[in-house]
Amino acid sequence: MNAATRSRSTSRTTGLAATFEDERYTWTRRRTVRRAAVGVEAAVVGFLTGVPLVAALGGADGAAPVVCWVAACLVFIPVHSVVNLGVRGVFDRRETTLDEVQRAMRDAATSAVNPLRVVLGLLAVVAAVLVAQHGGGTASGLAVGFALWFASWLLSTWHLAWTLPDEED
């Protein structure tokens, strides 16, 4: 067994887990930073939902809605990285890389928003069908449904990022 294999099998903080634990990202763990990032991320997801709705209602046509959607997705990526780093990636890491406190935080955040996740998931399906049926077309319906469904999966991370206190130094 070489040194790289030995350290990989014995250390909890390798790979992605090491990135989430890296002290270079301590600034993302401040409550004000996490809350600002959650606000921006929620606004971007709202925009991702609104663009196809506006397009479906006849407010925009052609390539503009697609360009807006792609641009919003590109903004989402770094903002979500900040949110994810702020909560140490507890929803994106393997179970074996989490300690007991992180597991408890993850489970509590999931439980707190689970009813809302279910409702938002059902709303995603209903909205997708309604938009598609009432003149928006399949693409707009799918875009609205996807954005709402995606928001339902982000709720746990947003809840944790919003409620988590600042870490002690």
Question: Which pLDDT belongs to residue 61?
Answer: 66
Token pair in block for residue 108: 């509590």
In this prediction the pTM is 0.82
Question: Which pLDDT belongs to residue 137?
Answer: 80
In this prediction, residues 130-147 reach a mean pLDDT of: 86
Cα→Cα distances 93→18, 41, 98, Å: 10, 20, 7
Question: Which pLDDT belongs to residue 59?
Answer: 64
- Cα–Cα distance between 96 and 14 in angstroms, integer? 11
- Cα–Cα distance between 80 and 83 in angstroms, integer? 5
39-55 pLDDT, tens digit per residue, is 999 999 999 998 888 88
Percent of the chain scoring above 90 in pLDDT: 51
Question: Which pLDDT belongs to residue 147?
Answer: 94
